[in-house]
Amino acid sequence: MGKIIELNEALANQIAAGEVVERPATVVKELVENSIDAGSSKIIINVEEAGLRLIEVIDNGLGLEKEDVALALRRHATSKIKDSADLFRIRTLGFRGEALPSIASVSQMTIETSTAEEESGTKLVAKGGNIETLEPLAKRVGTKISVANLFYNTPARLKYIKSLQAELSHITDIINRLSLAHPEISFTLVNEGKEFLKTAGNGDLRQVIAAIYGIGTAKKMRQIKGSDLDFELTGYVSLPELTRANRNYITILINGRFIKNFLLNRAILEGYGNRLMVGRFPFAILSIKIDPTLADVNVHPTKQEVRLSKERELMALISKAID
């Protein structure tokens, strides 16, 4: 008898979760990005025990149709990619169809969702990725996803959780960056019933900066702009006297997606020239719009690593805009 067997879907999802669901903050990121992709103008995030006991994301987006709710928990089921060519023109934040099934496989998940067109909503309850109930629900356009007891069936994952405070810090950082990427959306982050962050959602990026970093910081930021045939750059950078000892306050967004890129960080510093002290780094929020074909975001499951074409040209544009 052969020794190779085909994994059942629940086990395959748990294995995938090891790569996709690193920590509670990853769950928050994936769920909130889905809400953004659904066209939400208001997103509320509730967490308890830094997301280990509960993560709840409530939005007023398009919602899921009844026939799509159960399908959403199947791997590689996605509304955002239809063929391989779509991988090179991705405009949405989520796209692989791995997040929800991976999260559901290591938690107790409840989805409550309604669309404007349907007469009633749908409620799904799943445990360990297995659907337990699927029933009608009173209509409220939008989606509410609750993830309870994360990693309850994979306790070995809990040993990688350093502390609840550290996990909460990761969650806060993600919501901060998503708020900076989408000033047109109102974000509310609540931890243990206490409001940590609330943004107006009126499109004013400086107001978002003030909500996150304080009014004093926002007043010491100046707006920058720049463009060429391939890139459109907007954002805010701090005056030279406002600096920090690390790069954690630099946010680079490509088509609304937060990315990490050493060369673009260097371009920001080069834009300041010798106006920054050695070992000091500015506050910076750069939003860069590019043709999706120039950015490959399908490099890593976290989608924070992006392979850019014409990277040197973009570096020059950034440095010039700051200078």
List pLDDT tens digits, range 228-278.
Answer: 999 999 999 999 999 999 999 999 999 999 998 999 999 999 999 999 999
What angle is formed at CA 96 by the lines to CA 95 and CA 99, rounded to 5 degrees? 100
CA atoms within 13 A on the CB side of 153: 19
Mean pLDDT for 31-35 is 95
C-beta atoms surrounding 296 within 10 Å:
15
pLDDT at 96 over 50: no
Confidence of residue 79 (pLDDT cuts 50, 70, 90): very low
The answer to whether the predicted template modeling score (pTM) of the entire model surpasses 0.85 is yes
Q: Mean pLDDT in the chain? A: 88
Q: Which of 260-286 are b and which e, b meaning 16 or more Cβ less than 10 Å from the residue's Cβ?
A: ebeebbebbbebbeeebeeeebbbbbb
Q: With beta carbons less than 8 A apart as the criterion, state whether 34 and 94 touch.
A: yes
Torsion (CA) 82, 86, 89, 93 in degrees, nearest 10: 50
Calculate the CA dihedral of residues 64, 145, 292, 90 and round it to 10 degrees.
Answer: -50
Confidence of residue 12 (pLDDT cuts 50, 70, 90): low
Cα angle 119-123-125, degrees, rounded to a multiple of 5 = 170
Going along the chain from its start, the domains and CATH numbers come out as: 9-198 (3.30.565.10), 217-322 (3.30.230.10)
Query: Please, which residues have CB within 8 angstroms of residue 139's CB and are 6 or more apart in sequence?
Result: 114, 118, 119, 120, 121
Per the CB < 8 A criterion, the answer to whether 177 and 251 are in contact is: yes
pLDDT of residue 104: 94
Mean pLDDT, residues 130-148 taken together: 96
In the chain, what is the greatest distance between 2 CA atoms, to the nearest angstrom? 71
306-320 confidence digits (pLDDT tens): 788 899 999 999 999
36 burial via Cβ count (<10 Å: 0-12, 13-18, 19+): buried
